[in-house]
Structure 1
């Protein structure tokens, strides 16, 4: 039995003589011919016998051929009907094979939503590795600080900065984090003068990180103060602050997770052991998580923890 679904009944097959007949009519013919019963074929097609008979009559009129001989208690195929049945069956087999092939090779869309810094520093650089591991998956990265509704079905996995324990969702720790003072190595050719060093500020707002991570707090914890003559630049995107530090423009307080690979390869250096407590990175997904989501979480965790463990 062949199950052909979602055919548009308006699709017509047209010969050079402009004779038109529908796939519905051909499928109706096939079922009647296979069962040699209008009643059984009607049940398979969820039609009334009258409606089914009407389709067969329209097909015979379009072809100008008699496909069945109708006898008192049975029907039999005519020679033309037997010939057509072989080709109709073969045609529907080919159609079903084509549909099966498309379904088997269909790419799954997997959407990861995360904060912009994690997307820039940890997803985009390593995404080709993930694509090689899962060639059957098409990845979409959504970057935002905003809270998202995982129950809409738009997102498969969220990576968020927070405290975990999200209601009616599954969450697991990706990595603990802190904010540390970092700069380009050439700024350390001589000891840092904390009352003169250019400061790069980054703040993404208390609504996203209520722990108030800033230079003022860092200086206070060391009994220091920011001099009014110090050069200072303010950014609201952490990625911009990272680019400024990599360019050697000053010292910034940045997420240890966000800059882990720069610290490992020596592009940046930590200039003080003091770190400010921050929130942590969590995976968030629906409760009925699938294997692909778990595998991608494991991949993200492995990439990150190998770099943090330097």
Structure 2
């Protein structure tokens, strides 16, 4: 069946019928009275019915108009109820941007828990070391490694961090010989971490020296260094936050109490933060701090 009338025409009819005034209805619809009158005329022509009787100083509904008004009002109520229902049950997209290590070691393993808590939310994880523009609206929450104090943004501390020497437990069957142990290197690069975090600095603080004959492997991605140390390939300087759950479950052990000062993990969001963002921050902080307080 081909429909010859539009929702705009029916809404115009409803407003005129409720107010019994073209002028008042036109103001509600932000139309001129002439444009509104033309819209009603097109509806009457499409229906082949007279909906109003136009008298000298007023208009009244015809019997057909009264019948139609009752059903048009009910129809618009049903449409609004359907839209309200869909809006209430649609999934919200929530995007978290963070550095690759945090995404791999924390967000991905625990994301199913977060999804169970918020089934109405569809999560997207964006992993990159690059600085992102939070004002574009593409990201709801950033978890960054830095010093805080981000301009025109809200930031709060997630966790303080340090870099510690870790290895697979079987490498500690005998005391570590620091002039012979295989070293796994990981370097952020100065553009990401202005604090110098490397084995040379760690050895100097212990008044030790790296022997030229020591086996060494260099990685530019912390996740690769974590995989290497889990495979028992040597000792690595890694973020305590990144490897916290491996230390807790015994997959890795801390070789020395000495750590190197590093940057810290911060939540970053727009200033007008909403409740969902605050709740997700609280969830992330609780998960992480429980593991760090092992």
Relative to the length of structure 1, the TM-score reads 0.89
User: Residues of 1 paired with 2:156 and 2:58: CA distance?
Assistant: 66
User: Residues of 2 paired with 1:49 and 1:271: CA distance?
Assistant: 83
Q: Deviations over 1:127-183 (max 9, x none)?
A: 122222223332222211122222333222221111222223222222111111111
Residues 238, 55 of structure 1: CA spacing in aligned structure 2 closer, same or farther, 3 A cutoff?
same
Q: Deviations over 1:256-295 (max 9, x none)?
A: 1100010010000111222111111122223333332222
Deviation at residue 19 of structure 1 after TM alignment: 5.1
More deviation in 278-287 or 234-243? 278-287
For 1:26, which of 10, 27, 37 is the aligned residue? 10
How many residues were matched structurally? 294
User: Residues of 1 paired with 2:188 and 2:3: CA distance?
Assistant: 68
Residues 287, 19 of structure 1: CA spacing in aligned structure 2 closer, same or farther, 3 A cutoff?
closer
- SS state of the match for residue 109, structure 2? coil
Q: Contact between 1:199 and 1:233, CA under 8 Å: does it hold in 2?
A: yes
Q: Contact between 1:179 and 1:255, CA under 8 Å: does it hold in 2?
A: yes
Q: Deviations over 1:97-117 (max 9, x none)?
A: 111112222333322221111
Q: Contact between 1:19 and 1:63, CA under 8 Å: does it hold in 2?
A: no
User: Residues of 2 paired with 1:114 and 1:100: CA distance?
Assistant: 34
More deviation in 295-304 or 238-247? 295-304
Deviation at residue 254 of structure 1 after TM alignment: 0.3
Q: Contact between 1:29 and 1:56, CA under 8 Å: does it hold in 2?
A: yes
- SS state of the match for residue 253, structure 1? strand
- SS state of the match for residue 124, structure 1? helix
Relative to the length of structure 2, the TM-score reads 0.94
The Cα RMSD (Å) is 1.7
Counterparts of 1:33-182 in structure 2 under 5 Å?
Answer: 33-182=17-166
User: Residues of 1 paired with 2:250 and 2:167: CA distance?
Assistant: 10
Counterparts of 1:5-24 in structure 2 under 5 Å?
Answer: 18=2, 20-24=4-8
- SS state of the match for residue 204, structure 1? coil
The corresponding residue for 1:296 is 280
Deviation at residue 223 of structure 1 after TM alignment: 2.6
Q: Which runs of 5+ in 2 are unaligned?
A: none
Q: Does 1:258 align with 2:247?
A: no
Q: Contact between 1:161 and 1:281, CA under 8 Å: does it hold in 2?
A: yes
